[in-house]
């Protein structure tokens, strides 16, 4: 059993303005960097063995700040990328709210497949297999950090809980928040959800 | 609709030793009282409108420091009681090999404790209890409910639409705080199992 801390990237100027997905060139803003520093300080009190990150800039920056605090290198892995929203990637809020696929995604997402992008089921499979691969490399009770994005992290947690996929939006993952999972092939547990180290 | 904080009681001398359930006379120990104070320090930062508690001593004692800080009454509610373990209540390790206890850990949706409640009944009473309580409030109102491990995990499962057999995949530690947005139309888990240090 591996302990996995799931961390969402800190704030950017485009949160809630644009569906950023895997677009390049979106950095953290100042608030986001401060959030990442607080999350880094929190994680530096724990015996973290390794830090993995989505290769997208805002995640890598968050992971870099945590890496500095914990004295660890960041390992970039593709399976932590955000959902590939396909044709919807880069669309702006609130415009996107009237898009039929977005409406379905925000209400009954289980069978949504983004045109020219990924399906929800595919994303859950790639992130779950990725976490299996990580857990397989470490010893019992080793503690690992994974830095990624809101939806991919909620899908990982839904897998741990076996939560029916239409309900994954009921889990909140705030910027720079920390969630904690026990992850083994035969036993998965949610030990903490959406903790934001603030002080 | 309301924002609700679900708080498990602090430590007692019997956690992990005896299935306390709704036995009377189980009090917080010193560590539990310190935990309750820390939970109160954390929660008193928020504009809490009301504090509800399971009628069991350890839950009321956990709510007390917060009530004192905020100058609120603790209102006891039957729907926040721990699951009624029936014949197993008050028993220790000797029951762990009992088929019903094993089933409670494997497929809890199928379990009814002899002379007690079923997992499903308990979930319904706490879920509908919270539904009814939250209907009287506006979306910005914040409420605190202090109760017990199983009943709180069942409340969170109810909010998530988690399958009943999976409810033990959620962790609720002593004196932990979980936060939800709760209305008939929308339920969302905002925080799970945060233990203030």
Write the DSSP assignment of B57-83 as a string of letters.
HHHHHHHHHHHHHHT-PEEE-GGGSPP
Q: What percent of chain A has pLDDT over 70?
A: 99
CATH number reported for the structural domain that contains residue B178 in this entry: 3.40.50.1240
A46 and B CB contact within 8 Å: no
Distance (Å) from the C-alpha of residue B187 to the closest C-alpha of chain A?
Answer: 7
* Mean pLDDT (10-residue bins), chain B, 197 residues: 97 93 95 98 97 98 98 98 96 92 95 97 98 93 98 98 98 98 96 96
Q: Is B180 exposed, middle or buried (0-12, 13-18, 19+ CB in 10 A)?
A: buried
A79, pLDDT greater than 90:
yes
B189 and A CB contact within 8 Å: yes
Quote the crossing angle between the two packed helices B119-135 and B149-160, to the nearest 10°: 70
B2-8: strand order across its sheet: A74-76, A48-53, A143-148, A2-8, A178-184, A187-195, B187-194, B177-182, B2-8, B142-147, B48-53, B74-76
Dist. CA A64–CA B10, nearest whole Å: 37
A11 and B CB contact within 8 Å: no
pLDDT confidence band for A199 (50 / 70 / 90): low
Closest CA to A146 of A72, A35, A41, A38: A72
Element (H or E) spanning B181, and its range? strand B177-182
Q: What percent of chain A has pLDDT over 90?
A: 98
Task: With beta carbons under 8 A apart, name residues in chain A contacting B163.
Answer: 162, 164
Q: Which residues pair with A189 in a beta bridge?
A: A182
Q: How many residues would you count in chain A?
A: 199
Please give the pLDDT value at position B26: 96
Dist. CA B139–CA B185, nearest whole Å: 12
Query: Quick check: is B9 catalytic?
Result: yes
How large is the C-alpha radius of gyration of chain B? 16
| A56-87 residues labelled b (16+ CB within 10 A) or e (exposed) | bbbbbbbbbbbbebbebebebbebbbbbbbee
How large is the C-alpha radius of gyration of chain A? 16
A22, pLDDT greater than 90:
yes
Question: Which residue intervals of B75-144 are DSSP H helices?
Answer: 99-106, 119-135
Q: Containing domain of residue B132, as a range?
A: 2-194
Closest CA to B134 of B6, B8, B39: B6
Over residues A153-171, the pLDDT tens digits come to 999 999 999 999 999 999 9
Domain count along chain B: 1
Query: Quick check: is B181 catalytic?
Result: no
B115 and A CB contact within 8 Å: no
Please give the pLDDT value at position B71: 98
- Cβ–Cβ below 8 Å for A172 and B161: no
Q: How many residues would you count in chain B?
A: 197
A99, pLDDT greater than 60:
yes
How far is CA A168 from each of CA A194, B22, B82, B177, rounded to the nearest angstrom? Answer: 14, 33, 27, 21
Residue B108 CB contacts under 8 Å (≥ 6 apart), including other chains:
B119, B164, B165, B167, B168
- Cβ–Cβ below 8 Å for B166 and A190: no
Closest by Cβ to B194, choosing from A169, A189, A192:
A192
The answer to whether B181 and B188 are in contact (CB under 8 A) is yes
Distance (Å) from the C-alpha of residue B71 to the closest C-alpha of chain A?
Answer: 26
Element (H or E) spanning B8, and its range? strand B2-8
Residue A28 CB contacts under 8 Å (≥ 6 apart), including other chains:
A9, A10, A11, A12, A36, A58, A61, A62
Catalytic choice (B61, B82, B117, B150): B82
Strand, helix or coil at B182? strand
pTM of the full structure: 0.97
């Amino acid at each position: 059993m591996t302990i996995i801390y799931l961390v969402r990237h800190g704030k950017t100027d485009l949160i809630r303005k644009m569906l950023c997905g895997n677009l390049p060139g979106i950095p953290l803003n100042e608030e986001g960097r401060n959030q990442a520093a607080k999350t880094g300080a929190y994680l530096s009190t724990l015996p973290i063995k390794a830090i993995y990150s989505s290769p997208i800039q805002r995640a890598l920056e968050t992971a870099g700040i945590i890496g500095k605090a914990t004295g660890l290198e960041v390992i970039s892995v593709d399976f932590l990328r955000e959902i590939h929203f396909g044709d919807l990637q880069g669309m702006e809020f609130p415009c996107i709210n009237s898009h039929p696929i977005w409406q379905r995604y925000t209400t009954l997402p289980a069978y949504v497949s983004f045109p020219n992008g990924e399906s929800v089921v595919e994303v859950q499979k790639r992130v779950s297999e990725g976490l299996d691969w990580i857990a397989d490399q470490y010893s019992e009770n080793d503690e690992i950090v994974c830095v990624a994005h809101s939806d991919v992290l909620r899908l990982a947690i839904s897998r741990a809980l076996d939560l029916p996929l239409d309900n994954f939006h009921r889990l909140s993952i705030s910027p720079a928040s920390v969630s904690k999972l026990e992850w083994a092939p035969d036993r998965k547990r949610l030990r903490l959800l959406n903790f934001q180290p603030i002080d | 609709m309301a924002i609700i904080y679900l708080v498990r009681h602090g430590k007692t001398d019997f956690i992990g030793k005896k299935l306390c359930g709704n036995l009377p006379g189980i009090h917080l120990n010193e560590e539990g009282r310190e935990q309750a104070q820390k939970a109160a320090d954390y929660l008193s930062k928020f504009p809490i409108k009301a504090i509800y508690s399971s009628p069991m001593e350890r839950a009321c004692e956990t709510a007390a420091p917060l009530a004192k800080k905020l100058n609120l009454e603790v209102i006891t509610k039957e729907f926040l009681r721990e699951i009624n373990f029936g014949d197993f209540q008050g028993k220790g390790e000797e029951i762990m090999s009992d088929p019903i206890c094993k089933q409670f850990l494997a497929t809890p949706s199928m379990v009814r404790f002899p002379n007690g409640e079923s997992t499903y009944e308990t979930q319904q009473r706490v879920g509908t209890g919270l539904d009814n309580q939250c209907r009287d409030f506006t979306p910005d109102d914040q409420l605190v409910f202090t109760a017990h491990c199983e009943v709180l995990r069942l409340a969170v499962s109810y909010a998530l639409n988690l399958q009943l057999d999976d409810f033990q995949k959620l962790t609720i530690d002593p004196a932990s705080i979980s936060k939800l947005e709760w209305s008939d139309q929308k339920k969302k888990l905002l925080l799970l199992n945060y233990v203030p240090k």
